[in-house]
Amino acid sequence: MAEVKRVGMLTGGGDAPGLNGVIRAVTMRCISEYGYEVVGLRRGWKALTAPEEDTLMPLGVEDVRYILQEGGTVLGSSRTNPYKNEGDAEKVVEQLREFGIDALVAIGGDDTLGVARRLHDDFGVQVIGCPKTIDNDLSATDTTFGYDTAVAIATDAIDRLRTTAKSHERILVVEIMGRHAGWITYGAGLASSANVTLIPEVEPDLDEVTAIFKKRAENGERWGLVAVSEGVTFSEDFVTQTAEKDEFGHVRLGGVAEGLAAELKERTGIDTRHVVLGHLQRGGTPTANDRILSTRYGYRAAEAVANGEWGKMVALRGDEIVTVSLAEATDETKTVPKETYEMLRSFFG
Amino acid sequence: MAEVKRVGMLTGGGDAPGLNGVIRAVTMRCISEYGYEVVGLRRGWKALTAPEEDTLMPLGVEDVRYILQEGGTVLGSSRTNPYKNEGDAEKVVEQLREFGIDALVAIGGDDTLGVARRLHDDFGVQVIGCPKTIDNDLSATDTTFGYDTAVAIATDAIDRLRTTAKSHERILVVEIMGRHAGWITYGAGLASSANVTLIPEVEPDLDEVTAIFKKRAENGERWGLVAVSEGVTFSEDFVTQTAEKDEFGHVRLGGVAEGLAAELKERTGIDTRHVVLGHLQRGGTPTANDRILSTRYGYRAAEAVANGEWGKMVALRGDEIVTVSLAEATDETKTVPKETYEMLRSFFG
Amino acid sequence: MAEVKRVGMLTGGGDAPGLNGVIRAVTMRCISEYGYEVVGLRRGWKALTAPEEDTLMPLGVEDVRYILQEGGTVLGSSRTNPYKNEGDAEKVVEQLREFGIDALVAIGGDDTLGVARRLHDDFGVQVIGCPKTIDNDLSATDTTFGYDTAVAIATDAIDRLRTTAKSHERILVVEIMGRHAGWITYGAGLASSANVTLIPEVEPDLDEVTAIFKKRAENGERWGLVAVSEGVTFSEDFVTQTAEKDEFGHVRLGGVAEGLAAELKERTGIDTRHVVLGHLQRGGTPTANDRILSTRYGYRAAEAVANGEWGKMVALRGDEIVTVSLAEATDETKTVPKETYEMLRSFFG
Amino acid sequence: MAEVKRVGMLTGGGDAPGLNGVIRAVTMRCISEYGYEVVGLRRGWKALTAPEEDTLMPLGVEDVRYILQEGGTVLGSSRTNPYKNEGDAEKVVEQLREFGIDALVAIGGDDTLGVARRLHDDFGVQVIGCPKTIDNDLSATDTTFGYDTAVAIATDAIDRLRTTAKSHERILVVEIMGRHAGWITYGAGLASSANVTLIPEVEPDLDEVTAIFKKRAENGERWGLVAVSEGVTFSEDFVTQTAEKDEFGHVRLGGVAEGLAAELKERTGIDTRHVVLGHLQRGGTPTANDRILSTRYGYRAAEAVANGEWGKMVALRGDEIVTVSLAEATDETKTVPKETYEMLRSFFG
């Protein structure tokens, strides 16, 4: 193991509230405790495959002290994957050498960590990973930072929509992030007391959903809220039925919430509307919870650098931050278990 | 003037944060100060053209004491307009008599207040109006409640999106309410330091917008935020160019933000995304400001009932709540003046 | 084991955000899944030692559907402890019989759960406990609901104070709940990037604190934030030195924050102020996180009733809700471990 | 009038959310529209009586673009008054000359603007004022920025305390800023539906307050919220009665809320607690409303510089920003009118 003097750090993939918490903790610890120099590498792996003038971002303790409160990542991000372009992996290794970077902290999701693993395995790059996904779908760690914030934002949105749904006697369908894993929708649907929550893991039973809203209407509640993951799929039939032209003659379709709203209107006779939260879910200041978690991740990642635990990533297990092999990180997607959804389902109505 | 014993109250049109503040103040004052009985009429004018079992909602002081904090309207709403259906106006008058309602407080926008005026003029209905529009576009009053809350919500959303726009080096286009008047967009664009704000009153100059983002990129800021009213229109050409099919082969078009995002990507070469705030803008608890304004409106409306100022509506003029004729209410739309927009425009960049 | 028909439920001790989440889940599950009747018992054990007219609160599914969002407890609370008054425990048992309550869900802290345990042990009362403490200091469960909300509120307060501290070049000392355990202060101090955080578990080293702020001042930052638990203690000497009279001649002393602020002013020469968050920390809507946790607790508590797991309480262990004996519940206080504080301490400055 | 090349700007007195909005607008306009150079002067008048190394803060457009969202003032502040120290006024004039500052924008309250006026009158300093007070008590302007934010924060706090007051059946007394004018308390008391609101302008009638809470208790509501300005005064007798020693033997007294809480407990027999909001009221991000208002102030102040309207200050009159003489600014305190308070009082209960 080569002695560490200069630690590089990068963030890859979609941003998540808490990234700056990791960056801050890694920086402060590496400098104050271990005496390393720390440099940020802007725009993920692109920093190393196609460096620009502003790629290197020297990081000092006072540069990062108050970034814990900020959403996004001060290092910027990209979806560049050096293993998708012949020769780029070698470029990365060469560029690291040129930058004089002895150790690399790579913060990102499946894709970013997969690259980190291969760089370690193929070239012996001294890398430590830190998992990041707002979707909370990594099996290697109990929870990921950003998830709590995303749930909080979506919960707040649904809470906010309740009074307008009720005043207008409408069903409001709210589309929430999650292509393959329904964790955010599950969390927000539960926390906001949505009347129905649909996730990609469980095929929606539209007859059941219709029955719920019809029963509510019989009890004088001709309104409701549906939380639905963007990744929920319906039969081809259903989608065809709801294709329609808007007042400008444009075909308006495609979104899950939009289609579902049209379908529920048809089935229940109750007026419906839809809202797509989109990018709102990853913006803004992290919750206190995510700030704490990301700080603990970063703290442990710095320690992993000092220990030379190359090829590992930090992970939350129970109440402890441990390190696990990067191979584990990308093992399998953690989806919402059937019994967890059943629990939530028991509150529908 | 017939003596008043029983005051009816209804809310019509889209809901606005603050409606419950008016309902609360009217109820508390009518009962405590003037000794009237107060009944809510559910679902706007529909309560009188097509009453249902739950139409009448007796209102007591303790029923309303803590509704000031709630968004929406406890009376429900509808878009029913008795003057759009032959014979319905007469039904309204007859139904009011049947319900024993001597005086009516009608809270709503152009449409609701127009009906109120005609009922007063045509049948001598003892009615007091209270203006409501989240859009702030009534010339008869300086400000309307709900506006401040809508601006606050949209501002918060744009603020929240800044970090993600920056981290990913994207332009985020945020679509905000306002078909004909750009007040909410103006307010939120200004308060959130959006880089560009576009409103329906002023035809957008896309060359100027493009230049702004190109200049920003030259200074190393390859990202930005655009606040755009849903009612902003572009040339046919522009729209055609951006029509495109998504990954499912569906045509995705129509929304202003979506079209503008596609166009800006084309023109600037910077990645873009869009967000439609939609119903989020009218939900949730009113700001303190809107609570105060709506309470003052309701307080004065109750006094107007006691004074027998029939055919009038309450309005904010300077720092005072006055009454003006309902005719004035629907006079003309108050749009954003050119110089106000010029002021905002001077902060673009 | 007697068959269960009617489940009673009470909340005791200080309120915590999330109590209504437990009440809601227990009620919904007991009724929908198990077919029990559910009655709330107002004001903790007082409901059974000194019942009033409004003591019984019948709970139906629709009564509780939307209370998840509300802080406090719809059942009210008290600090009544039947074991502190001769003969009251017998009264409780008799009163439960009179109310026809077969099973009791007791939600509360050490004190409430201690009573529950003794009622079970001494009289065979069929009781299930649910732990509640905003302080997060129960060793029997990983986390308690209300804690996340308290940390979020305190974090938000410190964040908010930063700009004013900086503008006026002052040290602001913020007093946070926690007499014996510093968990909330630890969480909020970490999440808000407070410059120094002091907890009851570790005797404060005022020389170190002084040195931190002097060093900051040397670097041009003549301001800062200190998070301090109400339970932190200093030497007698220190307290005496800072006793002083205010402009009205009143002796102003006693609070930890106030005393510490005075002391730090003396030692650093920097202007100081203090803020006591007090009851703000337990009010308001629970975070999404606390809503989820409390729902899971309540869901499992209802199951425990159905299973007849008398004398047990629900607890979070890892990612699962389990049941443990009530004896464990009151075993020992879980305080902030030294290494956890050391981690936080490494970010001071 | 000397030609303007270099504009200086300072902020004096207590900070108020919105200060950075003024600084931003003045800077952006002075540079972009008028071509001036802009320099910030740190720490109010102290910048000119006792300049330090970091006193001058050159301000460019990009330095200030995103400070609108930040509370406090990037220029820092102080309570230095050059007219309170023989010879300091002359120093100020000399220092301005040394710094090459041709025009000065002074943002502050009575004190700061009073100095500005005298510098203009005595020495012909080319100064423009901008009023700042969170208390909203300047008669020369309809509203001041920071006020809306302070009301919003205090309203939120009282809202938050409601559930805990109710759960524990307590009266919570909340102390709010305002020594001589009760505007913030009035606004927050109204917006939060506090059961009683007390302001310095109207001597409190404790018998009436007591009667309100006794009546509430008779109706089963043994709890409540009182909003009270820090400047409310009671008779000597009252204060003496409530002096008491706490568990540590310290005399705990002095605060209005604390004293009132003790008194109300005595009078009503209901348990009471108190909370002092203190510095929380001036911290954190400004409301959208305050951001808009402060931007408009700054925009107009820059114009006033260009127009050479020396000795004037900007003010809001109706919906317009105008300039008025600095003499007017400090004329008289605007307190809450009796009829405004009577309106609020009609909602007590």
Q: Which of the listed residues A250, A282, A314 is the one where a domain comes to its end?
A: A282
- The percent of residues above 70 in pLDDT, for chain D, comes to 94
Helix (H) or strand (E) holding C37: strand C37-41
Any domain includes D341: no
Q: What is the predicted pLDDT for the residue at B139?
A: 86
DSSP label of B308: T
Give domain status of residue C251, yes or no: yes
C190 contacts in A (CB within 8 Å)? 291-292, 295
Q: Verify that C302 and C223 share a domain, yes or no.
A: no
Q: Which residue is catalytic, options C135, C137, C148, C290?
A: C135
The order of strands in the sheet holding C170-176 is: C196-198, C224-229, C170-176, C271-276
0.85 surpassed by complex ipTM: yes
Using an 8 Å CB-CB cutoff, list chain A residues near C25: 347
State the pLDDT confidence band at B323, using cuts at 50, 70 and 90: very high
What does the mean pLDDT of chain D come to? 93
- CB atoms D160 and C220 under 8 Å: no
Q: How far is D3 from chain C (nearest CA, A)?
A: 32
Strand partners, C104: C8, C127
Label residue D237 by pLDDT band (50, 70, 90). low
| Same structural domain, D48 and D127 | yes
Can you list the alpha helix ranges (DSSP code H) found in chain C? Answer: 19-32, 46-49, 61-64, 88-98, 110-123, 147-168, 183-191, 206-218, 236-242, 256-268, 288-307, 326-329, 338-345
Residue range D125-133: mean pLDDT, rounded: 96
Cβ–Cβ below 8 Å for D289 and B346: no
Contact predicate C227/C195, CB 8 Å: no
Q: What is the mean pLDDT of residues D83-95?
A: 97
Percent of chain B with pLDDT over 90: 87
pLDDT the model gives residue C335? 95
**DSSP category for residue B115:** H
How many whole angstroms separate alpha carbon A155 and alpha carbon B13?
A: 27
Token representation of residue C147: 């804690």
Output the CA torsion sign for B258, B259, B260, B262.
positive
Structure tokens at C319: 């990612």
> Where among C244, C266, C282 does a domain terminate?
C282
Q: Sign of dihedral through CA atoms D17, D20, D26, D29?
A: negative
User: Residue D339: pLDDT above 70?
Assistant: yes
Asked whether residue A90 falls in the same domain as residue A219, the answer is no
Q: What is the pairing mode between strands B37-41 and B6-11?
A: parallel
Which own/partner pairs from C258-265 qualify as long-range (CB within 8 Å, at least 24 positions apart)?
C258/C173, C259/C234, C260/C173, C260/C198, C260/C226, C260/C228, C260/C232, C260/C234, C261/C171, C261/C173, C263/C206, C263/C234, C263/C238, C264/C171, C264/C173, C264/C209, C264/C210, C264/C213, C264/C226, C265/C171
Please report how the helices D288-307 and D147-168 are oriented relative to each other, as an axis angle in degrees rounded to 10: 160
D11 with D141, same domain: the answer is: yes
Do B274 and B294 fall within a single domain?
A: no
Give pLDDT, residue B1: 57
Rounded Cα distance between A37 and A30, Å, is 7
Which member of A69, A287, A295 has the closest CB to residue C152? A287
The per-residue pLDDT for A332 is: 79
pLDDT at A318: 87
Distance CA B302, CA B37 (A): 12
What pLDDT digit, counting tens, does each position of D238-284 carry?
A: 654 555 544 544 444 468 999 999 999 999 999 999 999 999 998 88
Which candidate in C163, C244, C281 is best for mutational testing of the D interface (most D CBs within 10 A)? C163
Q: Is residue A336 part of a domain?
A: no
Number of domains in chain B: 2
Cα–Cα distance measured from residue D212 to residue C253, given in angstroms and rounded to the nearest whole number: 33
Residue of A nearest to B236 (CA): A248
Size (chain A), residues = 349
- Nearest C-alpha of chain A: how many angstroms from C253? 31
Q: Which parts of D53-206 are beta strand (E)?
A: 56-58, 103-108, 127-131, 170-176, 196-198
Pairwise CA distance, residues A197 & A204, whole Å: 9
Q: Which residues of B are catalytic?
A: 135
CA distance A78 to D165: 50
User: Which chains, if any, share at least 3 CB pairs under 8 A with chain B?
Assistant: A, D
Q: Where are the beta strands (DSSP E) in chain B?
A: 6-11, 37-41, 56-58, 103-108, 127-131, 170-176, 196-198, 224-229, 271-276, 312-317, 320-325
What are the C-alpha distances in Å from C309 to residues A16, B259, C128, C313? Answer: 42, 60, 7, 8
Distance of CA B3 to CAs A201, B6, B102, Å? 64, 9, 7
Over residues A61-76, mean pLDDT:
97
Q: Quick one: DSSP state of residue A2?
A: P
Interface-testing mutation among C158, C279, C281, with chain D (most D C-beta atoms within 10 A): C279
pLDDT digits (tens, 9 = 90+) for D24-53: 999 999 999 999 999 999 999 999 999 999
> Could you give the CA distance from residue C266 to residue C264 in angstroms, rounded to a whole number?
5
In the structure, how many helices (H) and strands (E) does chain D have?
13, 13
Question: Which residue is associated with the tokens 């006193």?
Answer: D55
Q: What is the pLDDT of residue C242?
A: 53
Would the pLDDT of B246 be above 80? no
Q: How confident is the model at residue B46, as a pLDDT?
A: 98
Is the pLDDT at D102 greater than 50? The verdict is yes
Residues of D forming the active site: 135
Residues of chain B positioned with their CB less than 8 A from the CB of D142: 318-319
D82 DSSP assignment: G
pLDDT at residue A171, rounded to an integer:
98
Determine the distance in angstroms separating the CA of C250 from the nearest CA of chain D, rounded to an integer: 6
- pLDDT for D278-320, tens place per residue? 999 988 899 999 999 999 999 999 999 999 999 999 999 988 9
Tell me which residue of B113, B32, B23, B43 sits closest to B297, measured CA to CA: B23
If asked whether residues A125 and A20 sit together in one domain, one would say: yes
Q: Does D158 touch chain B (CB under 8 A)?
A: no
Which residues does chain A have within 8 Å of residue C349's beta carbon, measured at their own beta carbons?
Answer: 61, 65
In which domain, by residue range, is B307 found? 6-146+286-329
The answer on pLDDT for B249 being more than 70 is: no
Residue A339 in any domain: the answer is no
Mean pLDDT of B310-327: 94
The structure tokens 């629907």 sit at: B330
- Provide the angle, in degrees to the nearest 10, between the axes of the packed helices D19-32 and D288-307: 40
Same domain for A25 and A110, yes or no, is yes
Q: Does the residue A201 lie in any domain?
A: yes
Q: How confident is the model at residue A242 (pLDDT cuts 50, 70, 90)?
A: low
Q: Is residue B337 part of a domain?
A: no
Half-sphere exposure at residue B232, Cβ-oriented, CA atoms within 13 angstroms = 32
D32 touching B, CB under 8 A? yes
Determine contact: D71 vs chain C, CB below 8 A.
yes
Average pLDDT over residues B53-76: 97
Considering only CB atoms, D155 lies closest to which of B33, B288, B349, namely B288
Q: Is pLDDT of B193 > 70?
A: yes
Torsion angles phi and psi, residue A108, rounded to 5: 175, -170
D282 annotated binding-site participant? yes
CA distance B247 to B244: 10
Indicate whether A156 and A276 sit together in one domain. yes
- pLDDT tens sequence across D155-209: 999 999 999 999 999 999 999 999 999 999 999 999 999 999 999 999 999 999 9
Q: Which CATH number do you get for residue C91?
A: 3.40.50.450
Residues of chain B with C-beta less than 8 angstroms from the C-beta of A250: 251, 253-254
Does residue D348 belong to any structural domain of this protein?
A: no
- Judged on CB neighbours under 10 Å (0-12, 13-18, 19+), B57 is middle
B151 touches chain D (CB under 8 A): yes
Among residues A15, A88, A102, A135, which one is catalytic? A135
Binary contact (D251, C246; C-beta < 8 A): no
Conformational region of residue C225, where left means phi above 0, alpha means psi within -120 to 50, and beta covers everything else: beta
Question: CA A278 to CA A282: how far, in whole Å?
Answer: 8
Res A250 pLDDT > 50: no
- Domain of A170: which CATH number? 3.40.50.460
Q: Give the count of alpha carbons within 13 A of A291, CB side only.
A: 28
As a whole number, mean pLDDT of residues A99-122 equals 96
Average pLDDT score over residue span D331-336: 86
Residues in Cβ contact with D307 at an 8 Å cutoff, skipping those fewer than 6 apart: none
Q: What are phi and psi of C337, to 5 degrees?
A: -65, 150
Asked if residue A226 has pLDDT above 50, the reply is yes
Identify the segments of chain C with pLDDT beneath 70.
1-2, 236-254
Q: Are strands A6-11 and A103-108 parallel, antiparallel or unpaired?
A: parallel
Q: Does A191 touch chain C (CB under 8 A)?
A: yes
Whether A and B touch (3+ CB pairs < 8 Å), yes or no: yes
Same domain, A294 and A257: no
* Same-domain status, A110 and A157: no
Enter the tokens of residue A94.
Answer: 């060469």
Residue type, C190: L
Does B31 contact D at CB distance below 8 Å? no
Distance, in Å, from the CA atom of A349 to the CA atom of A338, rounded to the nearest integer, reads: 19
Backbone angles phi, psi at A32, to 5 degrees: -70, -40
A74 with A31, same domain: the answer is: yes
| Structural domain contains residue A50 | yes
Residues from chain D contacting residue C244 (CB–CB below 8 Å): none
Distance of CA D31 to CAs A116, B194, B216, D3, Å? 47, 19, 17, 15
Rounded Cα–Cα distance for residues D296 and C95 (Å): 66
Confidence at residue D327, expressed as pLDDT on a 0 to 100 scale? 87
**What single-letter amino acid sits at D182?**
G
- Are C172 and C238 in the same domain? yes
pTM of the model: 0.95
CB contact under 8 A, A152 and C190: no
